[in-house]
Amino acid sequence: MSDSELTLRPLAGATGVLCLLALDHRDALRNAFRRVGVADVSSETMVAVKCRIAAALGDLATGILLDPAAIACRPPGAGLLVPLEEQGHEQLDGGRLNRLLDDFGPEEARRLGADGCKLLLYYRADHPATAGHQRDLVARAAEDCHRHGLPLILEPLVHRLDGESEAAYTERFADLVVAAAGELSDSGASLLKLQFAGEAACGELNEASSPLPWALLGGSEVDGETFERQLETACAAGAAGFIAGRAIWSGMLGLPEGEQEQWLAREALPLFTRLRTIAENRATGIRWHAALSPGGSAN
């Protein structure tokens, strides 16, 4: 597979910096609505909300992450990522296992005009019972993506094991993020989407993830101001940019429909502008020759 076929260029700006808007949330979006007191959100409402966000912020995004049901929300000119993972997870010895979607994969993504696929992967490097299964899942997904000429963006999520105390998890969190990056750097993915692991650990992620570039994810645990600070730290340490959603736009979910666009213009648009400025000024741009072949080595 040639570099040109697996390039990340359509997802990044001219200098190789990633500023991606994440809107592929499915069950997670329904849960976010419930947290602000809005229940029984229809699929049509979810798509309408995603289109509203994409219309407000899409001109600033180098790419967008959308589930297949919301492809129509894609802004003109934005690179397109689509998810491969099924919702939820299975339990195994206190850890978590992912599943791939049964009815959608890289072949269908290619037909929709996607520029890459994303796989969220629950991962604990210190939990052998699940880690091996999860690496096999990534290998299958990467092989399928490469077969159809698409790069795979891998999002390993460190999580608490059943029965693990919050204190023990917090103490180990940074090391686990770094370990996940290291163990998955030769998985066949072209880029890692990583959790913020603290200032010291960010410096370790470049070495751990090499030869892959990495981008910072947003997540539901941080607000926009906190994410700005995290992005400054991550980009200074070598991140290639960000792929974020709820940290940017979740504040609109509890508002009446007529007020959502105003909130996006007033709050989310300035925030996304600041995030893009941080990334463009401080991030390490992706070297286009670094796209990976199915074996995981640079061509």
The answer as to whether 298 is a domain residue is: no
The answer as to whether 20 is a domain residue is: yes
pLDDT at 257 over 50: yes
Residue 51 to residues 23, 25, 71, 148, Cα–Cα distance (Å): 9, 13, 9, 28
Rounded to an integer, what is the distance from CA 116 to the centroid of its chain?
12
Contact 101, 140 (CB under 8 A): no
What is the reported pLDDT for 7? 84
pTM: 0.91
pLDDT at 293 over 50: no
The answer as to whether 213 is a domain residue is: yes
Domains held by the chain: number: 1
Alpha helices in the chain (DSSP H): 27-35, 43-57, 106-111, 128-147, 166-183, 199-209, 224-237, 246-249, 257-263, 269-282
Under the banding of pLDDT at 50, 70 and 90, the label for residue 100 is: very high
Q: What tens digit of pLDDT does each residue of 19-37 get?
A: 999 999 888 888 888 888 8
Under the banding of pLDDT at 50, 70 and 90, the label for residue 297 is: very low
The domain containing residue 212 runs over which residues?
Answer: 4-290
Q: What tens digit of pLDDT does each residue of 141-179 get?
A: 999 999 999 999 999 999 999 999 999 999 999 999 999
Q: Across the chain, what does the average pLDDT equal?
A: 91
Contact 296, 188 (CB under 8 A): yes
The answer as to whether 45 is a domain residue is: yes
Specify the CATH number for the domain of residue 36: 3.20.20.70
pLDDT at 202 over 50: yes
The answer as to whether 296 is a domain residue is: no
The answer as to whether 297 is a domain residue is: no
- Joined together, the tokens standing for residue 54 give 């994409």
The answer as to whether 295 is a domain residue is: no
The answer as to whether 192 is a domain residue is: yes
Lowest mean pLDDT among 34-43, 129-138, 250-259: 34-43
Distance CA 36, CA 141 (A): 35
